[in-house]
Chains A and B, each alone.
Chain A
Amino acid sequence: MITTLIYSLTGLILFGMGFFTLIIHSHPLRKILAVNVMSTGVFLILVATAYIPLGEGEIDPVPHAMVLTGIVVSVSVTALALILACRIQETSNSSLPGRKQQGEVPEESIR
């Protein structure tokens, strides 16, 4: 029980951190990283809910299968998003927001 609680709360914190970063930062790669951290948090909550300590019974395999599916889908989504980000950067002709000048804070925030 305590294990489930620890891991689900961690998943929640990861989700919150990812969500905050997703909105605050403007570099596309960091946004995609944040989405990945968010999805990891969700998977963590899902698997932690299904956890049963060793010797107290079998584990429900359905959430595991769902998380497995989710990981593969999130990898393909990440790949597509990265290509899109590259294309946007190539065609928009502007430099990256994270590309910094000397002594300047790199990440501008969006309002």
Chain B
Amino acid sequence: MSYFIFTIFDIVLVLSMVWIAWHLLGTEDIFKAVVLFISFGLLMALAWVRMRAPDVALAEAALGAGLTGPLFLSALRRMNRPRKGDRRLDSDEKR
């Protein structure tokens, strides 16, 4: 019974991971993609815990989600340095 519950948890986790990855790779808005990437990293940390790898989970939560995300965001800000009369990339997408 307990194995069954674990398998359901696995499937839900895996499906949400694939769903988030699909959207992060497919959205037109890079800012949204980066935010989705951060949440993807947190789900990955959950998956590492499920696979009995707490060391990897800690590293993923701190590095994969906590530091890669800000790195991307600062690069995004650096790339879209606001010029006069120029709209920011991350604010003009259609939702």
**Which residues from chain A contact B53 at a C-beta distance below 8 Å?**
47, 59, 64, 67
- The SS class assigned to the B binding surface is helix
Q: Which residue of A lies closest to B81 (CB)?
A: A90
Q: Is chain A's binding surface mostly helix, strand, loop or mixed? A: helix
> Which one of B55, B67, B79, B89 has the highest number of Cβ atoms from chain A below 10 Å of its Cβ?
B79
| Contact residues of B between 7 and 39, Cβ < 8 Å to A | 7, 10-11, 14, 17-18, 21-22, 24-26, 28, 30, 33-34, 37
Q: Give the B interface residue count (CB, 8 A).
A: 43
Q: Is the CB of A85 within 8 A of B59?
A: no
Shortest beta-carbon distance, A83 to chain B, in Å? 8
| Minimal Cβ-Cβ distance residue in A for B27 | A30
Interface size on A, residues (CB 8 A): 50
Instruction: Produce 1/0 per residue, A37-61, CB < 8 A to B.
Output: 1001001100110111110000100
Closest chain B residue, CB of each to CB of A89: B79
Instruction: Say whether B79 contacts A36, CB under 8 Å.
Output: no
From the candidates A10, A43, A99, name the one contacting B17 in the complex (CB within 8 A).
Answer: A10
Per-residue interface assignment for chain B, residues 68 to 85, with 1 indicating a CB less than 8 Å from any chain A CB and 0 otherwise:
100110011011100000
Chain B's closest residue to A66 (CB) is B56
Q: Mark B32-63, 1 if CB is under 8 A from A, else 0.
A: 01100100100010011011110110011001
- Chain A residues near B72: list those with CB within 8 A: 29, 32-33, 78, 82
Residues of B with Cβ closer than 8 Å to A?
3, 6-7, 10-11, 14, 17-18, 21-22, 24-26, 28, 30, 33-34, 37, 40, 44, 47-48, 50-53, 55-56, 59-60, 63-64, 67-68, 71-72, 75-76, 78-80, 89, 92
Q: Which residues of A contact B (CB under 8 A)?
A: 2-3, 6-7, 10, 13-14, 17-18, 21, 27, 29-30, 32-34, 36-37, 40, 43-44, 47-48, 50-54, 59, 64-65, 67-68, 71-72, 75, 78-79, 82-83, 85-86, 89, 96, 98-100, 105-107
